[in-house]
Chain A
Amino acid sequence: MQTTSALPRMASVPQRFSWHVYVIGLGLILALYWFFPGNTLIMTRIAIMAIFVMSLDLLTGYAGLATLGHAALYGAGAYAAGLCAKFLTGDPLIGLAAAAGAGALLALISGAFLVRYQGLAFLMLTIAVVEIMHNLASKMQHITGGDDGLSGFAIDPLFGRFEFDIFGVTGYWYSAIALFLCYVVLRRIMSSPFGLCCEGIRENRDRMSANGTRIYPQLLKLYVLSGAFAGIAGGLSAQITQVVGLDSMGFTLSAEALVMLVLGGAGNLVGAILGTALFTGIHHFAATANPFHWLFVIGGLLMLVVFLPRGFVQAALKRLARRVADLAGRSA
């Protein structure tokens, strides 16, 4: 990666987090738990989906590969975690490792074929992969449970101490801390020369290859990385809900994740988390009224987002935060 190390941007890229960020992250997790004690289930859902959307962001946001088949990797992780708990061991961390491995393995196999293509052909091939995996999962009923879903496995207490309870307290802490760690790791990776190289491929493929970057291995590496994190998200979902449905490998889930990503702003890990929270929040309130109202809301939002400038939600939030900070400064 000699080619990218000369970029002037390297100097401004944050290399490592100071301890402040860890304190703030943990503080945020605690604060959310403190202020919304009745909403742990939906916050857990947001944390899991945020990991999934971040992994999608690596492909769509950083490398510019729009995919509608990302749920295949999520589903692979979910089934791996479920099967690991059913047949091997109930330990959640080993299950999570198995989930990440399964996601990465499927990403390696499918990615070796997929990342040769780009644009519409890539998009359609990813749809084909997720549909084939969906049909295979449905067909192999004796392993995956088919339409009924995979269930009847138990997860041991986390670290041998924290039991997964019906109020979702352990689940919340488990998924929120996993989200935080995934964010830290992914941010570090994507601000490395490798991450910058992926952004370069998004901006101009021909120029990057003229620079001496070998496109195919870089993209395959990114695809496997993305698959590992998508697998972690799927594994978390399987362990916390203790059931794996056929829809966790569906086309709909992939499309929803893409919508979440674009709502928050692609190419930016914080955007992925914000978009997930926004989408899940709106879904929660609009869909309880009437599922078809929800379609009006999300349809309108999507049409709006195209004509708003990129990263609008984040800019608006920043402006709001600055105003609040101003207010606090004045009163002090």
Chain B
Amino acid sequence: MPQLSNILIDGVVYGMVLFIISVGLSVTMGLMRFINLSHGAFAMAGGYVAALLIREQGWPFGAGVALAVLFTMTLAAVLETFVFRHLYKKSELQQVLFTIGFTFACIATANLLAGAYIQTLPLPEWMQGSVALGARTLPKQRVVVVAAGALVVLLLWLLVARTRFGIWLRASVDNAGMSSSLGINIRLVQCATFAIGAGLAALGGVLGAELMPLEPFYPLKYLVLMLVVVTVGGLGSISGTLCAALFLGIVDTASRYLASDFGNLFFYAAMILLLAIRPHGILRR
């Protein structure tokens, strides 16, 4: 059964990365009804800034990642305030077109600034090598990814379930107009949610750099993957996104191990199955 445990472990790691990258997209789609296809661009921005700081400037890994996430959050907040806010009232098709156009511009910019190569992120000492876990060994990098994913889940849960901001957020997702007339500053909620989502995407971009290499076409290449996770999980549902990400991550990894010549056929078949049974999300009836 070593193959089964391999599939499970790699699938969970992959699923965690998918979750961290897509959860922000899910919340913005649920809260603002905004189909943001340029979400991957924020993951790429985070990865590029981290690569620049750690590889070129020689920063320590933790500090570089933290600054990259902060930078992406600021960038997202500024863009949301000046550009994306005006799209919330437009039709779905127009949102799709604008954000795809924005993604194209980001790809061209990334190529202009950093060239068409894969950006490598050097791992620090404490993430190299592997740890013994009972009878088997695991690369430390994977352990870090899973731990970070679990931490993100925990923090998000605390934020949403235990804080005042979480109450505002849940109220706004359910009924934005009513929450606004009850005195919730809905603009602040929207802007902060967008920024946090982008920051998480950046974190996912850095952590997942081993699985999804950072290159200019990154935002387009993994766009469909993020959309699948978000749609299957259900818009605006954090726990749904986690379930969908883990399930699809395991399915994709299993099909890579067992039937690699079929490409990602089983991944999409699983998606069709889930969407056909639960078109509004995996945890919703």
Closest to B235 in A: A120
What is the number of residues of chain B that contact chain A, defined by CB distance less than 8 Å?
41
Contacts of A302 in B (CB 8 A): 97-98, 100-101, 104
Task: Name the one of A117, A125, A128, A296 contacting B104, with C-beta atoms under 8 angstroms.
Answer: A296
Question: Is B268 an interface position by the 8 A CB rule?
Answer: yes
- Give the dominant DSSP class at B's interface: helix
Task: Name the one of A113, A251, A259, A296 contacting B105, with C-beta atoms under 8 angstroms.
Answer: A296
Question: Is A135 an interface position by the 8 A CB rule?
Answer: yes
Interface with A: B131-139, B184-192, B224-232, which one?
B224-232
Known: A125-B275, A128-B268. A303 touches B98 (CB 8 A): yes
Question: Is A152 an interface position by the 8 A CB rule?
Answer: no
Question: Is B265 an interface position by the 8 A CB rule?
Answer: yes
A135, B275: Cα distance in complex, Å: 20
Contacts of A303 in B (CB 8 A): 98, 101-102, 105
A300, B104: Cα distance in complex, Å: 8
Known: A66-B93, A295-B108. A117 touches B268 (CB 8 A): no
Q: How far is the CB of B107 from chain A (nearest CB, A)?
A: 5
Q: How far is the CB of B36 from chain A (nearest CB, A)?
A: 12
Question: Is A299 an interface position by the 8 A CB rule?
Answer: yes
Question: Is B263 an interface position by the 8 A CB rule?
Answer: yes
Interface residues of A in 134-148 (CB under 8 A from B): 134-136, 138-139
Interface residues of B in 235-285 (CB under 8 A from A): 235, 261-265, 268-269, 271-272, 275-276, 279-280
User: Are A292 and B231 neighbours in the complex by a CB distance under 8 Å?
Assistant: no
Q: How far is the CB of A42 from chain B (nearest CB, A)?
A: 22
Contacts of A119 in B (CB 8 A): 92
Q: How far is the CB of B31 from chain A (nearest CB, A)?
A: 15
Known: A117-B279, A124-B275. A139 touches B263 (CB 8 A): yes
User: Are B90 and A125 neighbours in the complex by a CB distance under 8 Å?
Assistant: no
A266, B104: Cα distance in complex, Å: 22
User: Are B227 and A66 neighbours in the complex by a CB distance under 8 Å?
Assistant: no
- Interface size range of chain A in the complex: 35 or more
Known: A135-B263, A306-B90. A298 touches B101 (CB 8 A): yes
User: Are A131 and B268 neighbours in the complex by a CB distance under 8 Å?
Assistant: yes
Closest to B98 in A: A306
A120, B25: Cα distance in complex, Å: 14
Question: Is A262 an interface position by the 8 A CB rule?
Answer: yes
Contacts of B1 in A (CB 8 A): none
User: Are B90 and A296 neighbours in the complex by a CB distance under 8 Å?
Assistant: no
User: Are B265 and A132 neighbours in the complex by a CB distance under 8 Å?
Assistant: yes
User: Are A259 and B97 neighbours in the complex by a CB distance under 8 Å?
Assistant: yes
User: Are A295 and B231 neighbours in the complex by a CB distance under 8 Å?
Assistant: no
A293, B112: Cα distance in complex, Å: 9
A246, B64: Cα distance in complex, Å: 41
Interface residues of B in 60-95 (CB under 8 A from A): 87, 90, 92-94
Q: Which 4 residue pairs across A and B have the least CB separation, nearest first?
A: A302-B101, A299-B104, A299-B105, A135-B263
Contacts A125-B275, A135-B262, A303-B101 given; 18 further ones with Cβ under 8 A?
A117-B279, A120-B29, A120-B35, A120-B92, A120-B235, A127-B224, A128-B272, A132-B269, A139-B261, A139-B263, A259-B97, A292-B112, A296-B105, A299-B108, A300-B105, A302-B97, A302-B98, A305-B101
